[in-house]
Amino acid sequence: MTDFKSLLETKDYEFLKTNTHLDDNIILLCLGGSHAYGTNNENSDVDFRGIALNSKSEILLGNDFDQVVNVNTDTVMYSFNKIIKLLSSCNPNTIEILGCNPEAYMYLSDVGSDLIDNRKMFLSKICIHTFGGYAGGQLRRMENKAARVAGQTQNEQHILKSIRNAKYEFKNRYFPCSDSSVNLYVDNAVQKGYDREIFMDVNLSHYPLRDWAGMWAEMKSIVGSYNKMGKRNEKAISHNKLGKHMAHLIRLYMMCIDILEKEEIITYRSEEHDLLMSIRNGDYLDDNVQPKPEFYDLLNQYEERFEYAKQNTSLPDVPDYKSIDEFRMCVNERIVKGEL
């Protein structure tokens, strides 16, 4: 068994102490990926996720270091102000930080513990569109052609669906506009190499430029990240990692259903461990490295549970922004006063 705390003391992780944004500013450091989910095996890489406070000057000047990424160790450290925004959006890659097993946390300060204790203030129906959209889009990319790259037209449809899921939350963060003001749709392509592509009809008057720039940046990011996901999927398939990919997608449904039904963030999947490992180990793949019908039966079960959960959840439409703002303000005030 890997001694993760000893691993953090090695030279590879010196950046946690030498980077000016990290060191004493770190309030949380935990395992990420399969080690956090309980789906790791002897070949699993170790990656860490964490949070570091913003500095006094950043707070007063309105700056933000956003995140520190160390590619060599697959470590991502988010700034406090950025993680608050991501958690408020119920971002699947970050909300899981608040639901790990106790032993997965390598370090927790008092502020880090308070953040975990108050995790429910971030939960809302927005998770339907973040978790559900991401998982659903990824699963459909595999449908009936898991060992091949999805067709270009199909990719466009998935990108459009992802953008529409993201637009659900735009109204909470940007100046409002009607759905008809920004209409996105797929039509015959004008670009070379494309059969179909996404077009847009925009009809905005007296609309704040910075809000439009923010929405445009998010839509552009989705297009870019989706292309990267496609390359990752091709690589996963070529390295016989399709089972791992399938298990990851089913896990996303499990986690979102927990949020909707139990209003809890459960990152470590102890109850479903055996099922997820059997998927990861290829038990649901046939001799042609295609998902068996049993996998799609399982998928349908989770999609039905997800549909029921989202219709019957007691979660609010949006997170508790008042409590979130008060928490962030309190922490940043203590930093400015020199108390942290």
Q: Cite the beta strand spans of the chain per DSSP E.
A: 26-32, 47-52, 67-70, 75-79, 105-108, 182-188, 196-202
Q: What are phi and psi of 269, to 5 degrees?
A: -95, 70
pLDDT at 14: 97
| Cα–Cα dist 74/70, whole Å | 6
pLDDT at 257: 96
> Whole-model pTM?
0.75
The domain limits of the chain are 4-121+319-336, 126-312
pLDDT at 146: 44
pLDDT tens, position by position, 125-174: 999 988 876 776 566 555 534 434 445 776 787 788 778 877 877 877 78
Class of domain 4-121+319-336: alpha beta
**In the chain, % of residues over pLDDT 70:** 90
> By the 8 A CB rule, do 76 and 69 touch?
yes
Mean predicted confidence (pLDDT) in 210-221: 91
Mean predicted confidence (pLDDT) in 326-330: 98
Mean predicted confidence (pLDDT) in 259-268: 97
> By the 8 A CB rule, do 260 and 313 touch?
yes
Q: Are strands 47-52 and 75-79 parallel, antiparallel or unpaired?
A: parallel
| Cα–Cα dist 287/301, whole Å | 24
